[in-house]
A and B are shown apart, each in its own frame.
Chain A
Amino acid sequence: AQSVTQLGSHVSVSEGALVLLRCNYSSSVPPYLFWYVQYPNQGLQLLLKYTSAATLVKGINGFEAEFKKSETSFHLTKPSAHMSDAAEYFCAVSDQTGGGNKLTFGTGTQLKVEL
């Protein structure tokens, strides 16, 4: 069975500071990994994805993530936080066995950006 652990349910950074959101996964097969962002009372928007190509993945809004197999990690980073980055972020792993894209999600990290 696949699982995702997001360390830190709440992260607070100052505007302009580095954003680091942590994600560790467990998977019996080579994983597909995703980061999604959710604004209040809205659906999820894809930030970036890892699908076994380059281990450093760049996404939208200046975010990037690095796949580290040895550490089973897929941490999300952004060099300089902006107020508009305040949202909830979800890491997910995809079950590609048998086709389809069933996602197993972490419990989410709420990012707060302070002036």
Chain B
Amino acid sequence: DGGITQSPKYLFRKEGQNVTLSCEQNLNHDAMYWYRQDPGQGLRLIYYSQIVNDFQKGDIAEGYSVSREKKESFPLTVTSAQKNPTAFYLCASSDWTITEAFFGQGTRLTVV
């Protein structure tokens, strides 16, 4: 089945550590996105990539980094510079020929 796979579903991080969240899609979509979700704030765009080897900052990119070496993969690294990383992270993808984005099941990151 085509879709977007995020892993892990739950992730715990100690303060000062970098962690990487995985996002893989087999929909052959060109564009991929990372959103952060906090209670009462909706979803906010962290980074997005429209083609391989290219990506742009979204609204809240500070403390995060991404790469796009393959069309199907768009990993997100939460660095120690992100002061409040506890949140639900959602990856999405879309294509030039369609108008909606498709979402993965999310990764819940907790700082311990």
> Which residues does A use to contact B, with CB under 8 Å?
9, 32, 34, 36, 41-46, 49, 51, 90, 94, 96, 99-108
Contacts and interface: CB of A to CB of B under 8 A. Distances in A.
Secondary structure at chain B's binding surface: helix, strand, loop or mixed?
A: strand
A9, A90, A99: residue with the most chain B Cβ atoms closer than 10 Å: A99
Closest 10 A/B residue pairs (Cβ): A43-B103, A101-B94, A105-B42, A107-B42, A44-B103, A105-B43, A43-B105, A100-B31, A51-B99, A101-B101
Interface in B9-60: 31, 33, 35, 40-45, 48, 50, 58
26 contacts: A32-B99, A36-B103, A43-B4, A43-B90, A44-B90, A46-B102, A49-B100, A51-B99, A94-B99, A96-B99, A99-B50, A100-B31, A100-B50, A101-B31, A102-B33, A102-B58, A103-B33, A103-B35, A103-B43, A103-B45, A104-B45, A105-B44, A106-B42, A107-B40, A107-B42, A108-B40
Nearest to B45: A102
Given A94-B99, A100-B50, A100-B94, A42 B42 contact: no
Contacts of A9: 40
Nearest to A104: B45
Chain B, interface residues (CB within 8 Å), range: 20 to 34
Given A102-B33, A102-B58, A105-B43, A41 B106 contact: yes
B108 interface: yes
Contacts of B63: none
Interface in B78-108: 88, 90, 92, 94, 96, 98-106, 108
Contacts of B33: 101-103
